[in-house]
Chains A and B, each alone.
Chain A
Amino acid sequence: MKGNEAIAEAAIRAGVDAYFGYPITPQSEVLEYLTLQKPEERTGMVILQAESEVASINMIYGAAGTGKKVMTSSSSPGISLMQEGISYIAGAELPCLIVNVVRGGPGLGTIQPSQADYFQSTKGGGHGDYHLIVLAPASVQEMADFVDLAFELAFKYRNPAMILSDGLIGQMMEKVELPPQKARIDTYDQSWVITGKKNRERNIITSLNLDPELQYEHNLKLQEKYRRMSEDVMFEKFDCDDAEFLLVAYGSSARICQKVVEMARDRGKKLGLLRPQTLFPFPTEELNKLSRRVKGIMAVELSAGQMVEDVRLAVNGKVPVYHYGTPGGKIHSPEDVLGAVEEKFIGGL
């Protein structure tokens, strides 16, 4: 199954109530798969092709305000168009899922895979001080698994969650074990949803506070929430126990780096890999711990260097932090990465 199809099937099985989206390469299979599957018959899930990404994210905003499980998906230029709506959703504290199957930029860029939307995804993306919960799948299996996880976290924190994938994982075919069918939500937290003010005070979904004192308080509350999210940080470690050098990579780059670690180990070089599964919250603490035990760290990304900044912040100067990256939709090979690793670390031994 393709990564994009796995997301779509997992969405039906997670009991998602609605999908609003707009076609864009390389993620159009999500909407195509959903319309083909007739989820309105399988679970009652609503599927609607909107007139633009701007409209789809605002449909998400409206629907999420009613307490339903709603999602959209797009690729980089489309996600840029959604940023206004995402900022409103974050400001109004609504749970939802946004999938970004990243392609190379800037601008119309290329339809080839890229990891150049890291900043946009983890640092906010739209206006104002906010963060998304960001999950980074590295396999088709995780594309499926992270749908349910994303909703769990989105509802736990009443915050938009993003699955940050890329054209490689989205288009790649792998075996996948699909979760069982979950029932759709039928009870709603009446303390905040807008479903009509029946037997309760009325609710209002808004991100507007004209009084700066209230907006200040609201921002402090949001920041406190983002700090709390660190308890849900997720990562995987490969060969880290005795590692002298460490790679840090997520998503498709992590898949490449797993191979690099194997190749290095075959040559007797003690290389390890830390793979963040959540990019926000970022595994800052774990990385800080690991940095005390290694001689150097290299962030490997399909970009000109974005996550490397968070790696540097976490390491805080303890050991040298390097970057190996390929921007613009080209994919580095394990040999490319190994070459860089040997030059920076192993060659120096």
Chain B
Amino acid sequence: MEVNEIIREENLVYRRTPLMTPATLSYCPGCGHGTIHRLIMEVIEEMGIQEETIGIAPVGCSVLAYDFMDVDFSQAAHGRAPAVATGIKRLWPDKYVFTYQGDGDLAAIGTGETIHACNRGEDITIFFVNNGIYGMTGGQMAPTTLEGMKSTTSPYGRNSETMGPPYKITEMVAQLGGTYYVTRQSVHKPGPVRKAKKAIRKAFEVQRDKKGLSFIEFVSNCNSGWRMTPNDSNKWMEENMFPFYPMGDIKIDGELVVKG
């Protein structure tokens, strides 16, 4: 019996997002990347901009993002995605250009490109997936690794005295004149997923209206790198990551959000 015979249209409760390719995701089970990929592609589908969109893949776990997201793509060298996106967008100002980067890529080796693309206010969207670790290379310390957090290169826990404290690049870029919409989201539960999708939509709308750079950080889990089960990793993330990287909008319509 074929799958389509079992799952009749009236019984369908879930389907593959049409703009996700049929390729099997290369991410670990439980990882947030797949959900974020899907949300971005759902928004691109709903806005009807697939034919006008160009993505930039980073170096890291999502180096093969182009295998899964069905739009034109350029792979970029480690950290350079905002510069690559700048080159494309400056020549094709009416296209939608987004980068998809991890914390090592965006906040360590690519800090310069990130800061300057944000400061110039390139009309691009940066999706920043922060799981506090270098996942692809096996769980090394990242700039966003929490104080005391263990990784393969901070095996006794991150020591801010010698390694520097974790830093919040999202709050930093919000200070720059070129950013228009800056927010922090997560995708570990249905509620946050819905919020995250709205944020992605808003980010692409900001780009459509050429108002400046839109920047979304997703605080996400790395259950493999953190050596936890997916459930435990999400719980750990809520208890440890969220207090340091609080959820919510940081800059809206070019104005910093004042938190009372």
Residues on A lying within 8 angstroms of B by beta carbon are 17-18, 20, 46, 48, 50-52, 54-56, 58-66, 68, 70, 84-85, 88, 92, 194-199, 202-208, 210
Contacts and interface: CB of A to CB of B under 8 A. Distances in A.
A196 B95 contact: yes
Contact of B88 (A48, A65, A198): A65
B75 A62 contact: no
Contact of B54 (A17, A50, A88, A194): A194
A18 B112 contact: no
A51 B75 CA distance: 21
B70 A63 contact: no
Interface string B33-68: 000000000000000001111101100000110100
Contacts of B66: 204, 206
B87 interface: yes
B77 A204 contact: no
A194 B74 contact: yes
Contacts of A210: 64
Nearest to B59: A208
A197 B87 contact: no
13 contacts: A18-B91, A51-B112, A58-B87, A61-B76, A61-B87, A62-B84, A66-B91, A68-B91, A195-B54, A196-B53, A202-B70, A204-B66, A206-B57
Contacts of B112: 51-52, 54-55
Interface in B111-139: 112-113, 116
A135 to B, nearest CB: 23
Given A48-B86, A196-B54, A17 B91 contact: yes
Nearest to A194: B72
A20 to B, nearest CB: 7
B74 A205 contact: yes
A56 B54 CA distance: 19
Given A58-B84, A88-B77, A202-B73, 20 more contacts: A18-B87, A46-B90, A46-B91, A51-B113, A54-B83, A54-B113, A55-B80, A55-B113, A55-B116, A58-B77, A59-B84, A61-B76, A61-B87, A65-B84, A66-B54, A92-B75, A195-B54, A197-B51, A206-B74, A208-B75
B92 to A, nearest CB: 6
Interface residues of B, number: 32
Interface of B: 50-54, 56-57, 63-64, 66, 70-77, 80, 83-88, 90-92, 95, 112-113, 116
B54 to A, nearest CB: 5
Given A196-B52, A202-B71, A58 B90 contact: no
Q: Most B CB atoms within 10 A — which of A50, A62, A66, A199? A: A62
A194 B73 contact: yes
A205 B73 contact: yes
A173 to B, nearest CB: 32
A66 B50 CA distance: 16
B75 A63 contact: no
Contacts of A199: 51
A85 B80 CA distance: 9
A199 B50 CA distance: 11
Nearest to A51: B116
A203 B87 CA distance: 17
A198 B50 CA distance: 8
B90 A85 contact: no
A72 B1 CA distance: 60
A194 B83 contact: no
5 closest pairs, A vs B, by CB?
A62-B87, A62-B84, A59-B87, A63-B87, A58-B83
A58 B86 CA distance: 9
